[in-house]
Structure 1
Amino acid sequence: MRYFEARKARIEIIPMIDIMFFMLVFFIMITLHMIPNAGLRMRLPSSASAQSVPPPKVTVTLAADGSVSVDGHTFSTADLTALLAKRPDPAHTVVTIEGAWDAQLQKLVNVMDACRAAGVTQVSLAAQPEKVD
């Protein structure tokens, strides 16, 4: 007579845990793409040949007054060299310099020299695409 006995219902928890972990990973990945890069709002120079580049590992901001900042912290060129040299692999560190529209060319060259002194070989300049009327 065991055939007709009512069985107690069971809730399988292992598949539910798998689904919850999958959802956790999904939401973490989506959240990481929603966080914007930190930086200062600047009026970048325009260029007719501007191209998209992969996201940089380090973004250096050069203001019009010649101050250099990374992630909101102001550095001298010597401190910038030390900061970039501390990175695990400076030769493969991608640095983008966001120079203000009215920044001095000599200050830009000083920042590029600081990057080269740290061993960084991949330096790019940020520019906005030129608007064609």
Structure 2
Amino acid sequence: MAKKSSYLGSEQHSRIEIIPMIDVMMFLLVFFVMIMLEMIQGAGITLDLPQSSTQDRIESVTLNIGVSADGGLYVDGAQMDDAQLAARLAEMQQTGKLDVVIAGDRGSQYESIVHAMDLVRGAGISAIGLATQK
């Protein structure tokens, strides 16, 4: 370690300040975590949700079901048919309370949304929400 001598004769040791580096690293960590959270939410299918002026946020959502404009059902970005979705819902229902949000594309038919709701209710789940934009 290099020593610096001052005018009065006392010696000072030069050192590397680590506190600013820790601050920068913490900032980078928070930045990347926030970016990854945004990327994880957008990893599914792209839906054009209808708008609503009165909406409430559901905090305990455990399963999102997407209904595309052509009536396809999607869970976690993977397309499922009725039997696969019913089996997945029954499996998740056994683990405890399950809240489901159905996100229907703006161009999807009302019948497709009702069909998805019937599948969810058929699995014994009554907590169903509909996703909208503000």
TM-score, with length taken from structure 2: 0.66
Supply the AA of the counterpart residue of 1:112: M
Match of 2:83 among 78, 86, 102: 78
Match of 2:110 among 90, 105, 111: 105
Q: How many residues align?
A: 101
| Cα distance in 2 for residues equivalent to 1:85 and 1:111 | 14
Cα offset for 1:90?
Answer: 6.7
Distance 1:53 1:33 in 2: 22
**Unaligned stretches of 5+ residues in structure 2:** 1-28
Q: What is the TM-score with the length of structure 1 in the denominator?
A: 0.67
5+ long unaligned stretches in structure 1? 1-26
Summarize deviations over 1:78-124 as a string: whole Å, max 9, x none.
Answer: 22111100115376201111100011001110100000111111110
* 2:65 match: 60
In the other structure, the counterpart of 1:16 is none
1:98–1:125 Cα contact (<8 Å) kept: yes
Q: 1:79 to 1:44 in 2, by over 3 A?
A: same
Q: Match of 2:84, SS?
A: helix
